[in-house]
Structure 1
């Protein structure tokens, strides 16, 4: 699939790619390095993925950066990941803003430190009007928790008399999620050869196409994204209907 054909397609409709960035630890283990080294190399792959998305006409890129379950990992590993996040927010946001990339975060921020929350809010405010690419990072995120929080918000509206039970629809649920202002993903990519969803965007990927890649995340580059997009273009997306 050529770059021009991708961009032509994205001019008429959003092209949303979601990625489960898996394999940092295995990448490091293969090289007899600590897992933290894999996470640092994974940050380089994030930069490549953003650049490639822009070049290939992707309009929305959502990355699974840190799950709600990842808090259970060893303290030193979590500390390294939070340090990488701080570095990213301090040194990458300005560049992304100059490249007209909007950055937003979804997930439970209550477990994050105050300085990270402040940096996230500043990044979102700074880049809010950018239009080349909407970059969403799922941080301290879990799909089941997201749906649970949405149910609570909807229940609150019902209890307050602002919403009738018969008025609850799929749109009601969608508009109550962290991703309310985003189109659903067209494509879900998972690296490292694993073939599972891992509690990521459970509601939103109902009709997404899945591509599982054997490449470990630190080695991910434009060729892998282009290959996945080519695979997407070859599939007949019927959304539950009969093929035409």
Structure 2
């Protein structure tokens, strides 16, 4: 009876959260934490926790597609994970091979045109895992409706370091001028194919840190971060929707802050600053509290300061 009631309550809460959402992030990144602790609390072996976590991963992929997310990145195996006991690593590698091939052959993956890609130091992984990665990527290479990135042998700092070294080599060889280095120069060297900026990072299991995960794409985009306490195998749709709500609140806060800063700039005398400020205020004016919203006349003052003839009284 209690289980039935709990299910009814959870379902009602999910419907409430769904109704409250007004949009979806484009790119979500997930740190799949707590698999081993989940197994330990249930008296199981670590690999059983990872297998339970893989089931949650499949559900999250479906939830993302339901609300219109276009890219999902899963932190699956970090470079630090190579320090784990050999038996744990081998069991995880076996599971990765199984799931990569299973995903690559799944009807739902092809029906939804999911492109599976691996990011990280793939060459550090056992040959059987590299073969499974290659199989999944080849089977889904022509799709672009939804992107699923699997972060394997991944370390954010190491990727940035390799990108910087690549830029330095090109400059040293005379193939790149220092003044030509821009954002795209770095991004082209991070991964074989483009990765969208991260809008939301989700981390379960009670840890409140992002663990060197996609620093260029998340920190550079000021991504929202949602921390929650359930272990990854226990992560529910309600938890997922709460994460989306966190993203929406973060986005609204960002819009409001930008509008306030831009409104303050309207008192400056630089034409370039005024042009940018007025543009931002016009775009984000509705995000400000009513008492703070500038009138059309107040915005027109900015036009006068740009050098236009003042409006006669």
Q: TM-score, normalised by structure 2?
A: 0.71
8 Å CA contact 1:188, 1:209 repeated in 2: yes
* Corresponding residue to 1:201 among 199, 214, 228: 214
Q: Give CA deviations for 1:189-240 in whole Å, capped at 9, x if unaligned.
A: 1111100111211121111111101111011232221111122112222598
Q: Does 1:188 align with 2:205?
A: no
The unaligned stretches of length 5 or more in structure 2 are 1-16, 261-283, 285-313
* Corresponding residue to 1:210 among 203, 225, 231: 225
Moved more, 189-198 or 113-122: 113-122
* Corresponding residue to 2:245 among 224, 230, 241: 230
* Corresponding residue to 1:106 among 119, 142, 146: 119
8 Å CA contact 1:17, 1:61 repeated in 2: yes
Q: Which residue of 2 aligns with 1:175?
A: 188
1:62-73 matched pairs, under 5 angstroms: 62-73=73-84
| Partner SS for 1:176 | helix
1:49-60 matched pairs, under 5 angstroms: 49-60=60-71
- CA distance in 2 between counterparts of 1:44 and 1:201 reads 24
Structure 1 residues 239 and 203: alpha-carbon distance in aligned structure 2, compared to 1, 3 A threshold: farther
Moved more, 26-35 or 189-198: 26-35
Higher relative contact order (CA 8 A, sep 6+): 1
Q: Give CA deviations for 1:51-97 in whole Å, capped at 9, x if unaligned.
A: 11111211100000000000000111100110000111222211123
- CA distance in 1 between counterparts of 2:137 and 2:241 reads 28
Shift of 1:117: 1.5
Q: Does 1:142 align with 2:159?
A: no
The unaligned stretches of length 5 or more in structure 1 are none
Structure 1 residues 241 and 173: alpha-carbon distance in aligned structure 2, compared to 1, 3 A threshold: farther
Shift of 1:2: 3.7
| Partner SS for 1:139 | strand
Shift of 1:241: 4.0
* Corresponding residue to 2:138 among 117, 122, 125: 125
Q: TM-score, normalised by structure 1?
A: 0.90
| Partner SS for 2:216 | coil
Q: Give CA deviations for 1:173-192 in whole Å, capped at 9, x if unaligned.
A: 22221275121100011111
| Partner SS for 1:237 | helix
- CA distance in 1 between counterparts of 2:203 and 2:52 reads 17
- CA distance in 2 between counterparts of 1:242 and 1:80 reads 51
Moved more, 184-193 or 218-227: 218-227
CA RMSD of aligned residues (A): 2.2
Q: Give CA deviations for 1:79-132 in whole Å, capped at 9, x if unaligned.
A: 011000011122221112343211100000121122321221221122122233
| Partner SS for 1:210 | strand
- CA distance in 1 between counterparts of 2:237 and 2:28 reads 13
Q: Larger C-alpha radius of gyration, 1 or 2? A: 2
- CA distance in 1 between counterparts of 2:21 and 2:42 reads 38
Q: Which residue of 1 aligns with 2:41?
A: 30
Q: Which residue of 2 aligns with 1:47?
A: 58
